[in-house]
Amino acid sequence: MDAVVHPDLASFDAVAHDRLAADPVRNTVALTSLDRIRRLPAEHQPTLVTFHDGGEVIGSLVRTPPWPFQAADLPLEAVDLAVQTINEIDPDAPGVTGPRDRSEAFATATGKGYTESLATRLYRLGTLAPPTVPGTGRMATEDDVELLGAWRKAFTGEAVPEAPDENTTEVVRGSLRLGNGHALWEVDGTPVAWAAASIPHAGMTRVGPVYTPPEHRRHGYGAAVSAMVSQWALDQGATEVLLFADLTNPISNSIYQRIGYQPLDDWAEFWWKR
């Protein structure tokens, strides 16, 4: 088995894109993050590795700095080779995320101390069932960027406190310019919840973040705005609409299932101890 380190995204795409796109559900994170880099220049070059056995591509490992490695397409038999390779080319990576069996195997094989920062469940939309909730929804515009930037910062602080700092306002602005969908739920003209969804790629859209400020929670607004942006994704032609839910939050997991999402797989994110 061999590992090939790719100098740029074009080289990686030539051998790995079709493989990832053939299973857009499992590879949702890599597909969406790399699609963003294709269409919006990144500050840092991604780390891109493919694994080959007998001339056949059998897996890949991706990192888009400053975020952890994405191990969804990493074969378990390639874990030791992957760790050896990244120690040489990307020793400052902060951690790994992916389906639990793969991400945990990778984290263990590094020999580093680590903490589990996030345990999530991947869901796929079945039949959408929008709830009946007070208020109305609308799609966000450039005028909403400052608000959504502040909400993204609050969301990240709650969900992934280990996450690197980012200019959340510019992240939202860039997402809107890429054509991603951002839905707002409003009550009497006041925004009370937000949900985003990526523009379809390989037929797949992923919903997230979904955020309701604390003072507006437990009214169903998160469910309503999630259903709205899910319908937006379907209208854009998505055949697979996915989302992740934090396993420590039983309320959000039950809400997503009530509006039509079905559980698929458990993921885990591990960050190295510094």
* pLDDT digit string, tens, across residues 19-71: 999 999 999 999 999 999 888 777 788 999 999 999 899 999 999 999 999 99
* pLDDT mean across residues, the chain: 95
Angle 82-84-85 (CA atoms, 0-180°, nearest 5)?
Answer: 65
Q: DSSP letters of 61-105? A: EEE-TTSPEE-TT--GGGHHHHHHHHHHH-TT--EEEEEHHHHHH
- Encoding tokens for residue 147? 């608000």
Cβ 116 vs Cβ 160: under 8 Å: no
- Encoding tokens for residue 136? 């109305």
Which CATH architecture does the domain made up of 124-265 adopt? 3-Layer(aba) Sandwich (3.40)
Please compute the mean of the pLDDT values over residues 240-247 and round it to a whole number. 97
Please state which of the ranges 57-61, 64-68, 124-128, 220-224 shows the lowest mean pLDDT.
Answer: 64-68
| Percent of the chain with pLDDT strictly greater than 90 | 90
Predicted TM-score (pTM) of the model is 0.94
Cβ 58 vs Cβ 75: under 8 Å: yes
d(CA 267, CA 250): 16
pLDDT exceeds cutoff 90 at 159: no
Give the model's pLDDT for residue 39: 84
- Encoding tokens for residue 74? 């990493």
Peptide bond into 209 cis (omega under 30): yes
Nearest Cα to Cα of residue 119 among 132, 104, 106: 104
Q: How confident is the model at residue 87 (pLDDT cuts 50, 70, 90)?
A: very high
